[in-house]
Chain A
Amino acid sequence: MKGTERGEFLMPSLGADMESGTVAEWLVKPGDQIRRGDAIAVIDTDKAMIEAESFHTGTVESLLVETGHRVPVGTPLAVIAAVPPHAAGPRARVASPLARTLAARLGVDLSAVHGTGRAGTIRAEDVREAAERETTTRETAARGVEPRPRERPRRTAPGPAEARPQPDHDWERRQETMRQAIARAMARSKREIPHYYLSTTVDMSAALSWLRERNRDLPVSGRLLPAAVLLKAAARAATEVPRLNGFWVDDAFVPGEAVHLGVAVSLKDGGLIAPALHDAACRELDDLMAALKDLVSRARTGRLRSAEMTEATITVTNLGDQGVESVHGVIYPPQVALVGFGKILDRPWAVDGLLGVRPVVTVTLAADHRATDGYTGARFLCTVDRLLNHPETL
């Protein structure tokens, strides 16, 4: 925005399969001060409602597209008058060391905390307030369980009229466009990416008994699912075999800066979305489990953030809940690998010359042969195997 002092907020591309989007809601109005990273509009991508973040810091000058209008990716949606960098102060979501320490201790998500310090800096008192608010909310929720808001009609017995804000044909249209979006991305993947596939079967007895021990003394809310352990193992293996973590862009591999694990979430109404669990390899299992719950819940009912839609560096699909033994996935471009976990099943298993029954899971890898060879992929699966056999190290 050098010189012009003006920037445009464009319809973002929220994934390789997105060609156009609809402004579902404006979160700002002309005159509002915004910072780079602030969510300023909710974009309906056909697959999900995404909060799109501004790349500019400044004042919203005008909104160019009304809500409900569908425009191609790259269309200007708003004009933002820049403020000089020195006036903008530190970037959004700066938190003091004490605030970070407290947030970790109290389990507060800093991205949801409103900073009251200079230029929005999050300070300790902001974190304490957020923690108190969260406690209050949780207590309220525990008293009366409120159903999550949904936009589609009931499958069976018709509910009251107000439970159906959108007519049926709207919902069907949405299904159709989502199907088309998936079709485009998957067709591109199979057209452009020379996939190779590997698979291995991992003995899960160590991981499951470790989980049992760990969960035994915890309330239900603190317990881990096997899925969290599988995701963590995949993320850790991606850090150990970094050639599978990143993107294939312009005939070259671009490594991901961290492991942002795309998690394939099947939507209840059909369709699929794979938002990113940021920094999955570095997170503690508790944290990862909480983030997974949050991500899946927001993917299905609430809103995802645009960074979650665009920043996944490797994707994991877990079809175990559906009962299949293994899944050979299609890579989500421009990523270069997709990891699949099947159902954990009891199977005869030979150990030290004896046959026993062990819980096992089939882990698969679909990888882009342009970026890596089978040898690299094999190392990845061996690493997953090793990590799952030593769950205490995860």
Chain B
Amino acid sequence: MTPQRARELVEAALTRVAPDADLAALAPDADIREALELDSLDFLTYVETLSESSGCRIEEDDYPAFTTVAGGADFLVAHASAP
């Protein structure tokens, strides 16, 4: 998966759980749970959405990578087989 595509998927998933978020203003290494006030349900929905849209299996052990936009996108680039 290209970094460009991964970034798009991450932003789409974030838009779903935090529709009001200004993603442009979000730092790539900020903890999205704090920045966007996500609770555990929101975070699970975010990971679930990403797992579905990328077709990439995400283990519970991988969750920490997804706490930042950059970490989530990097994970998808490394693990998702789909283009």
Touching chains A and B, CB distance < 8 Å: yes
Asked if A220 and B41 make an inter-chain contact with CB atoms under 8 angstroms apart, the answer reads no
Q: Which listed residue, A157, A226, A268, touches B37 by the CB 8 Å rule?
A: A268
When the two chains form their complex, are residues B16 and A227 in contact, meaning their CB atoms are under 8 A apart?
no
Contact of B13 with A145 in the complex, beta carbons under 8 Å: yes
Contact in complex: B15, A293 (CB < 8 Å): no
Q: Does A114 contact B (CB under 8 A)?
A: no
Q: Is the interface of B mostly helix, strand, loop or mixed?
A: helix
Whether A296 contacts B16 by the Cβ 8 Å rule is no
Q: A147-B16, A220-B51 are in contact. Are A154 and B22 (CB under 8 A)?
A: yes
Measured CA separation A152–B19 after assembly (Å): 10
B44→A220 contact, CB < 8 A: yes
The answer to whether residues A227 and B41 also contact, given A142-B52, A216-B60, A220-B48 and a CB cut-off of 8 A, is yes
| B20–A155 touching, CB < 8 Å | yes
Q: Is the CB of B41 within 8 A of A292?
A: yes
Interface residues of A in 20-59 (CB under 8 A from B): none
CA distance A220 to B53 in the complex (A): 12
In the complex, how many angstroms separate the beta carbon of B18 from the nearest chain A beta carbon?
8
Say whether B25 contacts A321, CB under 8 Å: no
A150 and B53 form a contact (CB under 8 A) = no
Judge whether A150 and B20 touch: CB under 8 Å: yes
**Does B49 interact with chain A (Cβ within 8 Å)?**
yes
Residues of B within 8 A of A145 (CB): 12-13, 15-16, 49, 53
Q: Which of B22, B51, B59 contacts A157 (CB 8 A)?
A: B22
Q: In the complex, what residues of B have CB within 8 A of residue A157's CB?
A: 22, 24-25
Residue numbers in A under 8 Å from B67 (CB-CB):
none
Is there contact, CB below 8 Å, between B19 and A150?
Answer: yes
A146, B15: Cα distance in complex, Å: 8
Chain A nearest Cβ from B44, distance in angstroms: 6
CB of A156 closer than 8 Å to a CB of B: yes
A169 interfacial contact with B, CB 8 Å:
no
Distance of B28 from chain A, by nearest CB (Å): 17
Report whether A221 and B41 are in contact in the complex, using a CB–CB cutoff of 8 Å: no
> A173 at the A/B interface (Cβ < 8 Å)?
no
Whether the pair B49, A293 counts as a contact (CB closer than 8 A) is no
Taking CB atoms, residues of chain B closer than 8 Å to A226 are 40
Bound form: Cα–Cα A378–B69 in Å: 44
Asked whether B16 lies within 8 Å of A148 as measured between CB atoms, the reply is yes
Complex Cα distance, B41 from A223, in Å, reads 11
**Which among A223, A292, A321 is the interface contact of B60 at CB below 8 angstroms?**
A223
The closest CB in chain B to the CB of A159 belongs to B20
Report the separation of the CA atoms of residues A220 and B50 in the bound assembly, to the nearest whole angstrom: 9
With A146-B16, A147-B19, A220-B48 given, name 6 new contacts (CB 8 A).
A147-B16, A150-B19, A154-B22, A225-B40, A268-B18, A321-B40
Lowest 8 CB-CB distances: which A-B pairs, in order?
A156-B22, A220-B48, A321-B39, A147-B19, A220-B51, A145-B12, A157-B22, A154-B20
A-B contact pairs, 7 of them (CB 8 A): A146-B16, A147-B19, A156-B25, A219-B51, A220-B44, A220-B51, A220-B52
Please report A residues at the B interface, Cβ cutoff 8 Å.
142, 145-148, 150, 152, 154-157, 212, 215-216, 219-221, 223, 225-227, 266, 268, 292-293, 296, 320-321
